[in-house]
Amino acid sequence: MAAKQHVIVVGAGIIGASIAWHLAKADAAVTVIAQETGGVATPNSFAWINASWGNPEF
């Protein structure tokens, strides 16, 4: 049996939170290190997500 992987994600914006969630769903032990608590996103990552969304409403 393989050992469970432990991954550290630095940053809990939309990208870091998504990466941490997907890793945890894949059965990795995940530690998230963030400067702020709660739902935060940098202007750059938020714009990147909006630019990649195909819905013109957003």
pLDDT along the chain (58 residues), means of 10: 88 88 96 77 56 57
Q: How many domains does the chain have?
A: 1
Confirm whether 57 is domain-assigned: no
Give SS3 for 6.
strand
Query: According to the model, what pLDDT value does residue 12 have?
Result: 85
Query: According to the model, what pLDDT value does residue 38 have?
Result: 61
Confirm whether 58 is domain-assigned: no
With 0-12 CB in 10 A as exposed, 13-18 as middle and 19+ as buried, what is 37? Answer: exposed
Query: What does pTM read for this prediction?
Result: 0.61
Q: For residues 22 and 19, give the distance between their C-alpha atoms in angstroms, rounded to a whole number.
A: 5
Query: According to the model, what pLDDT value does residue 33 have?
Result: 94
Range of the domain at 35: 6-52
Query: According to the model, what pLDDT value does residue 21 have?
Result: 93
In the chain, the amino acid numbered 19 is I
How large is the angle between the packed helices 43-52 and 14-25, nearest 10 degrees?
Answer: 70
